[in-house]
Amino acid sequence: MKLVFATHNKNKLAEVQAMIPSHIELLSLDDIGCHEEIEETGKTIEENAAIKANYVFEKYEISCFADDTGLEVSSLDGAPGVYSARYAGAQKNSEDNIDKLLKEMEGKKDRSGRFKTVISLRTDRERIIFNGIVSGEITSERKGSNGFGYDPIFKPEGYTQTFAELSSEEKNKISHRAKAMEQLIDYLKG
C-alpha cells in the first residue's frame, strides 16, 4: 500500500517513516510531484488537516494523511489555536509568535494550555480523524533550545521542564504529535 504524508519536511517524514508498518510505502508531497503550497483556510485544526489530506487525495488519487497542530491557551479563549503558526503575522516567525503570546499572558493567573495535533486520513474508502493532546502550562519566559515553535514556553503536565528543555526522545514519547501518530499507526496495523 502506498500512503502520502502531506509534508515537504524531510525530517518529519523520516521520523514518521520509522514508525509506519513496513508493508506501507510512505511518500512525501515531493515524491508525488506536489510542490504547491496547500492553503490552510479552515477555521479549526481539524478542518486544516482535512483540507490537506482531501486536496492530495482528490488531485493525485492516492491515499493520504495530513496533520495540523495548534496551541490552545485557556485564558485566551483557545488562542492562538488554528492560527498558532501565524499568530504574530503571515511571516510565521516562531520568535514573534512567542513574544506576542507572552505579552498577552502578562498578568494572567491561569496559564494553562494544551497542544493539539489532528491527523486526517483520507482513502478511497474513508475519512478518519486522530487526535493527540498534551496539557500543560505557559511559562513566563523562554527555557531550552531544543524543539521548535512554542516549545520554549510550554511545560507539559507532570514535568518541570519545557518541551525545549527535553531531549527529542523524551518529547517524542509524550508529545501531542506522537499520541496522534500512535493512533494512526495502530489503525494502519489493524
Catalytic pick from 68, 96, 99, 124? Answer: 68
Q: What stretches of the chain show up as alpha helix (H) in DSSP?
A: 10-17, 45-60, 94-105, 168-174, 176-189
Q: How many other CB atoms sit within 10 Å of the CB of residue 149?
A: 18
| Residue 31 designated active-site | no
As a whole number of angstroms, the distance between CA 142 and CA 112 comes to: 16
Positions marked catalytic: 68
